[in-house]
């Protein structure tokens, strides 16, 4: 990997901030642990790694993770616990928390912090005991941030997880009518100064603004409260985050009502959200959550977040790649382990190779991957942030801006690494496709070739799979065949997913829509067959599911896509998936009145997500087909 590793990326980020090792690790691990991590002599637990990244002001969502079975088991338990708490199942919440502690003992103070945090959640959400919740939250903070009560946090480094703990304490103390403004102000200053990643900043600022706005209302300052909330919403919509929008919109509406009682008027320049717009946005989100969301899913938990995870299982990748390359376990182990037993244990999920061994195994399969890596191979977080900016520009059809960023990204990367050169070419092909600068047939041929350099899924494999599915006589045989883990190929990595999506779009453009749907369906099937749940693969699964639903104009697929986006707390795909559902329903004339309302709601969802191009397309479509009442300009 040309010496580019996550350890070096961490070290570079720390040195750019002029932070000492002691400052970064205070309360979470030893200096020696971080030094060995930065020198690539060891690995650290996933939760600790996330805390370290967040203390550097960076987002863990910029990386793709290849987890061992044990790491995934702990991550699943954290999610199981949250589900039990919000469903109000105290018995199972406590069982899962006890099991989590049993499996995480010895992994460090961050897990003790999470245990105390869990106890606080049970006390608050299930027992409704504010004093007990406050006690547990104080223990949570003492675990990793013992200086939380100091007036000066100048030399402290605090992760987003720890900031959530502090804000939760503020919430509990507010509800007990205790003074919280000083602690809240310290949080606000820290977020402004040190949480530099846009997505991380948006997520934590939204929660801070919600609490601060309530304090402003308490002291009869509704204008200030509206300003705080609209600023938070602006940040959330910039990064397509739906989670925590409803609480912020509710506060804004409450502020307008308070001002109406006092016959006060808001200065128009202070907000872009009018009272009417606020009411519309809020009613649409409530409607979506009512009909497509999970009934138990929280809307205002500070300790819950939107999901943008990109996780994979190491044993699934190794097993699938070894089989597809026709290699024996002895061949894979050669030069890495003394015998093949270690590869066998790894493929069964019974052991996890060290990162240096894992990299060597991946190289044997032609993959340039380590356990924690970016969507480009770089030792700078700046490159990962530029890659994300390009993705955001393309999703909003800002191709000229994306082209400028591609030039910038190319200068940051080692282009001799295949993964980097493929990423750049893939982005350029996508821009050329939408701008009509190249032949679709040429782009399709090149895209297939780029994809199959690392992802060995041929068109004939997909055709064969569909022929077997369509032949009902083969159904029982097919199920037995596909259940054999050795016969099953792996879920694509993020860049491979983007290539698959690009291929499918090009197939549709040249009149092969059925083949595009087959490609989507085959890949979605692989996601469903994996041991890892789809919610841990938001960036890949949401893209393919939403586009497949649109191509099929499917009610069931678009409904699933809506449920998935709401469960992951994402805003950017809601408008698209809701519009897909509307188009599927339009086929029945009896649905016309409902569809009229849904198209209008899709318009407002695109406005809320700041997707101007799609908003105008929907507006034009609505006015042409449902010209009873114009949508708001």
* pLDDT at res. 486: 46
Indicate the SS3 state at residue 310: strand
Q: Which two tokens stand for residue 210?
A: 């919600």
Strand partners, 300: none
- Note whether 174 and 211 are within 8 A (CB): yes
Query: Which H/E stretch holds residue 373?
Result: strand 372-374
Cα 297 to Cα 83: distance, rounded to the nearest angstrom:
8
Indicate the SS3 state at residue 529: helix
Q: Which two tokens stand for residue 163?
A: 């900031």
Cα 282 to Cα 66: distance, rounded to the nearest angstrom:
38
The backbone torsions φ and ψ at residue 372, rounded to the nearest 5 degrees and listed phi first, read -125, 105
Q: Which two tokens stand for residue 451?
A: 């994809």
Q: Which two tokens stand for residue 137?
A: 């939250």
Exposure of 331 in the CB half-sphere (CA atoms within 13 A): 13
DSSP 629: S
* pLDDT at res. 85: 97
Q: Which two tokens stand for residue 447?
A: 């895209």
DSSP 328: -
Exposure of 403 in the CB half-sphere (CA atoms within 13 A): 10
CA 603 vs CA 237, 281, 364, 574, 616: distances in Å: 15, 11, 49, 11, 8
Cα 100 to Cα 78: distance, rounded to the nearest angstrom:
8
- Note whether 557 and 505 are within 8 A (CB): no
* pLDDT at res. 562: 95
Q: What is the 3-state secondary structure (H, E, C) of 391-437?
A: HHHHHCCCHHHHHHHHHHHHHHCCCCCHHHHHHHHHHHHHHHHHHCC
Spans in the chain with pLDDT lower than 70: 1-3, 266-270, 458-488, 587-589, 628-633
* pLDDT at res. 473: 45
Query: Scanning the structure block, which residue is given the tokens 């480094």?
Result: 157
Strand partners, 66: 312
DSSP 243: T
Helices (H), strands (E): how many in the chain? Answer: 31, 3
Q: Is the dihedral of CA 430, 434, 436, 442 positive or negative?
A: positive
Sheet holding 63-67, edge to edge: 311-313, 63-67, 372-374
Alpha helices by DSSP H, 17-89: 21-25, 31-38, 46-55, 69-86
Q: Is the dihedral of CA 81, 140, 239, 237 positive or negative?
A: positive
Cα 187 to Cα 182: distance, rounded to the nearest angstrom:
9
Count of C-beta atoms within a 10 Å radius of residue 297: 18
* pLDDT at res. 1: 44
Cα 597 to Cα 593: distance, rounded to the nearest angstrom:
7
- Note whether 566 and 289 are within 8 A (CB): yes
Chain centre to alpha carbon of residue 450: 26
Strand partners, 313: 67
DSSP 377: -
Tens of pLDDT, residues 536-564: 999 899 999 999 999 999 999 999 999 99
Query: Which H/E stretch holds residue 214?
Result: helix 198-218
Candidates 547, 392, 524, 522; CA nearest to 458 is 522
């Amino acid at each position: 990997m040309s010496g580019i590793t996550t350890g070096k990326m961490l070290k570079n980020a720390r040195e750019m901030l002029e932070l000492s090792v002691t400052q970064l690790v205070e309360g979470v691990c030893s200096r020696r642990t971080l030094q060995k991590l930065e020198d690539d002599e060891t690995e650290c637990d996933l939760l600790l790694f996330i805390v370290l990244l967040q203390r550097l002001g960076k987002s863990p969502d910029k990386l793709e993770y290849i987890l061992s079975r044990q790491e995934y088991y702990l991550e699943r338990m954290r999610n199981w616990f949250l589900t039990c708490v919000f469903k109000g199942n105290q018995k199972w919440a406590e069982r899962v928390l006890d099991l989590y502690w049993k499996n995480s003992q010895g992994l460090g103070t961050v897990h003790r912090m999470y245990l105390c945090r869990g106890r606080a959640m049970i006390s608050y959400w299930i027992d409704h005991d504010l004093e007990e919740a406050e006690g547990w939250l104080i223990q949570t903070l003492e675990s990793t941030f013992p200086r939380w009560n100091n007036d000066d946090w100048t030399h402290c480094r605090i992760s987003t997880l720890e900031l959530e703990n502090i804000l939760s304490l503020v919430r509990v103390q507010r509800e007990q009518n205790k003074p919280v403004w000083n602690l809240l102000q310290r949080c606000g200053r820290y977020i402004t100064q040190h949480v530099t990643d846009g997505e991380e900043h948006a997520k934590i600022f939204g929660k801070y603004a919600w609490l601060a706005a309530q304090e402003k209302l308490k002291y009869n300052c509704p204008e200030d409260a509206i300003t705080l909330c609209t600023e938070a919403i602006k940040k959330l919509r910039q990064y397509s985050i739906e989670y925590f929008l409803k609480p912020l919109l509710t506060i804004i509406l409450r502020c307008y009502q308070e001002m109406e009682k006092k016959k006060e008027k808001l200065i128009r320049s202070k907000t872009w959200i009018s009272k009417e717009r606020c009411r519309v946005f809020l009613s649409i989100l409530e409607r979506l959550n009512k009909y497509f969301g999970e009934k138990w899913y929280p809307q205002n938990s500070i300790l819950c977040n939107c999901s943008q995870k990109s996780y994979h299982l190491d044993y699934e990748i190794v097993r699938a790649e070894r089989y597809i390359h026709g290699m024996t376990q002895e061949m894979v182990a050669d030069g890495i382990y003394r015998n093949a037993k270690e590869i066998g244990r790894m493929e069964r999920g019974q052991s996890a190779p060290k990162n240096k061994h894992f990299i060597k195994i991946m190289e044997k399969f032609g993959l340039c991957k380590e356990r924690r890596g970016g969507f480009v191979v770089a030792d700078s977080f700046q490159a990962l942030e530029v890659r994300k900016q390009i993705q955001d520009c393309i999703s909003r059809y800002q191709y000229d801006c994306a082209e400028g960023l591609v030039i910038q990204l190319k200068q940051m990367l080692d282009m001799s690494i295949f993964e980097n050169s493929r990423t750049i070419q893939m982005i350029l092909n996508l821009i050329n496709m939408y701008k009509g600068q190249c032949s679709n047939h040429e782009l399709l041929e090149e895209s297939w070739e780029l994809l199959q350099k690392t992802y060995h899924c041929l068109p004939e494999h997909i055709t064969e799979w569909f022929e077997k599915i369509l032949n009902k006589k083969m159904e029982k045989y097919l199920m037995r065949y596909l259940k054999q883990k050795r016969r099953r190929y792996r879920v694509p990595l993020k860049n491979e997913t983007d290539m698959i999506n690009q291929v499918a779009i090009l197939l549709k453009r040249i009149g092969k829509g059925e083949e595009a749907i087959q490609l989507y369906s085959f890949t979605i099937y692989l996601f469903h067959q994996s041991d890892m749940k789809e919610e841990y693969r938001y960036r890949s699964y949401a893209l393919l599911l939403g586009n497949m639903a649109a191509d099929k104009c499917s009610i069931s697929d678009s409904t699933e896509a809506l449920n998935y986006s709401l469960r992951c707390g994402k805003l950017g795909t809601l408008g698209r998936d809701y519009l897909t559902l509307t188009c599927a329903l339009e086929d029945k004339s009896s649905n016309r009145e409902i569809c009229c309302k849904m198209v209008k709601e899709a318009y407002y969802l695109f406005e809320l997500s700041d997707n101007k191009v799609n908003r105008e397309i929907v507006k034009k479509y609505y006015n042409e087909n449902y010209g009873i009442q114009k949508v708001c300009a």
